[in-house]
């Protein structure tokens, strides 16, 4: 049989409790069994020379406790007794033990009770078929299955120890705790009937109406709803799955924290979030994730990977995600779309992504910059994007130079994940290299086109400028390459930022100056 670390720990705690109680018990003397009353008693040599047979409404004194039964065999010489029928030990004002059969040794002060055993201590009731109760150490234990009922909690296990002085239970093997709100199963569990806190070790699962929890160490306050779970924590509710090394949660306040190796899976929005610290507040309807924070927007064809210093998610009263905020050094990667900015907002209600503070987006060969950028998503793919103020699009034309589009605002439209059309409004300027591919597909530069117009529409094929439609009379000129000075081949505000572009999903964790 495999002995786990958790098994060693629970046995260690049991041993400590036993030693503490036994140490105190050594200071106590044995108890003399005294017959106080009965309907009939006599010596019965058929049972033995020193055995006294007692019948009817028998009552005995066991020092500070009383014993009641229907009949008994009392051996005064050996100071032990066998009791039968309606056996009842009453110790103090709170502890009562009932059974059909009892063997009690007054010298060791150990009682062995069998058949329909019930132990009642204040608001706690223990039922089992076989129980050993040590009156010196104040420890009761069962070994063939037992059930504890304490207020709203019902616990069962194959083996159990009850330290009556500390009001502490230790359960081992096939432990089940049933509460009106959940069912907990565990290898080993400690439970205090006063504090109503359960400490569990080893593989433990908690199943509620709409939640499943697994962990291998921790504790749960059944009164307050506060819990701490450690080691391989796994939580499933209606819409999310959470994994972490450690999770703390207060059910009443709705506040929770998670630490290290955190993974959150949102099955409704198809998002996976990862990090090493999570703060959650159900009442205020937000979750905060940081320390290597990452969000993955799942798509079977092309998932988007996003990283930032911190991710904040807001949700409604039904726990449905509304918005995700990525703050500071936000960077994302998708095969056909990459970007970075200081902060980003993903609105799940209208399926838009807004980039703020020096944003950059790369779409195939095109680099897009502006003061802020909004991307509209349809069916999990980019449908359109809007560049607000100082809009600038650049693409490198092989080794010849850079095609450039500049304007106050722009709206770009995608088709099949490719940028196909761009509408430029306000002070629109372009520089693009006019190429003749030739019949043999040999690329030949015709010239460099520079144009200015208030409004224009630019059409792209294979991410290259193919045609420009001017909505107002343009000022345009086609220059031979050699006639245009180098400084005139660049529009004002030009920045080529390809060195910061993420080439794969792992590069979202690399910032500009890293």
Strands (E), 237-320: 240-250, 255-266, 271-281, 286-290, 294-297, 304-307, 310-315
**239 phi, psi to nearest 5 deg:** -120, -15
CA distances from residue 310 to 90, 292, 306 in whole angstroms, order as listed: 61, 8, 11
In this predicted model, what pLDDT tens digit does every residue of 208-229 receive, in sequence order?
Answer: 888 899 999 999 998 888 999 9
Q: Provide the whole-model pTM.
A: 0.78
**Measured between alpha carbons, how far is 477 from 459 in angstroms, rounded to an integer?**
19
What value does the mean pLDDT take over residues 435-463? 79
pLDDT tens-place string over residues 486-508: 888 899 999 999 999 999 999 99
480: confidence class by pLDDT, cuts 50, 70, 90? confident
Summarised one tens digit per residue, pLDDT across range 334-384 is 988 899 999 999 998 888 999 999 999 998 888 999 999 999 988 777 788
Distance from C-alpha of 460 to C-alpha of 368, rounded to nearest angstrom: 14
Distance separating alpha carbons of residues 97 and 126, to the nearest angstrom = 9
For the range 86-93, what are the long-range contacts, defined as Cβ-Cβ under 8 Å and sequence gap of 24 or more? 87/113, 89/62, 89/65, 89/133, 90/65, 90/66, 91/64, 91/65, 91/66, 91/135, 92/64, 92/65
For residue 6, pLDDT over 70 is answered with no
pLDDT-based confidence at residue 439 (cuts at 50, 70, 90) = low
Q: What domains appear along the chain, each with residue ranges and CATH number?
A: 352-503 (2.60.450.10)
What's the pLDDT tens digit per position in 36-71? Answer: 999 998 887 777 778 889 999 999 998 889 999 999
The pLDDT of residue 116 is 96
Q: Is the pLDDT of residue 194 over 50?
A: yes
């Amino acid at each position: 049989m495999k002995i786990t670390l958790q098994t060693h720990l629970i046995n260690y705690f049991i041993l400590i409790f036993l030693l503490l109680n036994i140490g105190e018990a050594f200071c106590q003397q044995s108890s003399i069994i005294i017959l106080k009353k009965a309907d009939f008693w006599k010596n019965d040599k058929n049972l033995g020379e020193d055995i006294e047979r007692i019948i009817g409404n028998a009552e005995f004194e066991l020092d500070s406790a009383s014993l009641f039964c229907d009949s008994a065999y009392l051996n005064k010489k050996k100071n032990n007794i066998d009791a039968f029928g309606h056996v009842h030990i009453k110790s103090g004002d709170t502890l009562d033990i009932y059974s059909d059969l009892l063997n009690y040794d007054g010298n060791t002060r150990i009682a062995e009770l069998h058949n329909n055993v019930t132990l009642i201590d204040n608001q706690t009731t223990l039922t089992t078929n076989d129980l050993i109760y040590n009156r010196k150490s104040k420890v009761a234990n069962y070994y063939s299955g037992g059930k504890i009922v304490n207020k709203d909690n019902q616990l069962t296990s194959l083996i159990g120890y009850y330290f009556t002085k500390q009001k502490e239970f230790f359960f081992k093997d096939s432990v089940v705790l049933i509460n009106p709100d959940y069912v907990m199963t565990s290898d080993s569990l400690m439970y205090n009937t006063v504090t109503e806190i359960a400490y569990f070790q080893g593989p433990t699962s908690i199943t509620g109406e709409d939640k499943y929890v697994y962990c291998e160490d921790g504790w749960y306050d059944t009164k307050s709803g506060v819990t701490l779970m450690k080691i391989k924590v796994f939580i499933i509710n209606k819409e999310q799955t959470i994994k972490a090394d450690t999770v703390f949660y207060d059910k009443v306040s709705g506040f929770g924290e998670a630490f290290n190796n955190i993974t959150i899976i949102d099955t409704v929005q198809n998002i996976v979030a990862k990090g090493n610290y999570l703060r959650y507040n159900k009442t205020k309807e937000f979750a905060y994730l940081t320390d290597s924070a990452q969000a993955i927007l799942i798509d079977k064809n092309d998932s988007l990977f996003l990283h930032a210093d911190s991710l904040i998610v807001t949700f409604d009263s039904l726990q449905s995600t509304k918005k995700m905020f990525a703050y500071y050094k936000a960077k994302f990667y998708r095969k056909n779309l990459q970007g970075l900015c200081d902060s980003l907002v993903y609105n799940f209600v209208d399926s838009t992504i807004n980039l703020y503070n020096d944003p950059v987006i790369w779409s195939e060969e095109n680099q897009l910059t502006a003061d802020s950028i909004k991307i509209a998503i349809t069916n999990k793919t980019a449908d359109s994007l809007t560049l607000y103020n100082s809009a600038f699009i650049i693409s490198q034309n092989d080794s010849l130079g850079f095609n450039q589009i500049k304007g106050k605002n722009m709206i770009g439209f995608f088709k099949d994940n490719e940028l196909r059309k761009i509408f430029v409004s306000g002070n629109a300027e372009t520089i693009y290299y006019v190429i003749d591919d030739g019949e043999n597909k040999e690329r030949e530069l015709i010239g460099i086109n520079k144009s200015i117009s208030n409004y224009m529409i630019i059409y792209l094929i294979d991410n290259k400028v193919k045609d420009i439609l001017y909505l107002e009379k343009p000022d345009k000129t086609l220059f031979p390459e050699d006639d245009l000075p180098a400084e005139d081949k660049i529009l004002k505000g030009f920045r080529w930022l390809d060195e910061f572009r993420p080439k794969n999903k792992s590069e979202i964790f690399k910032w500009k100056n890293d």
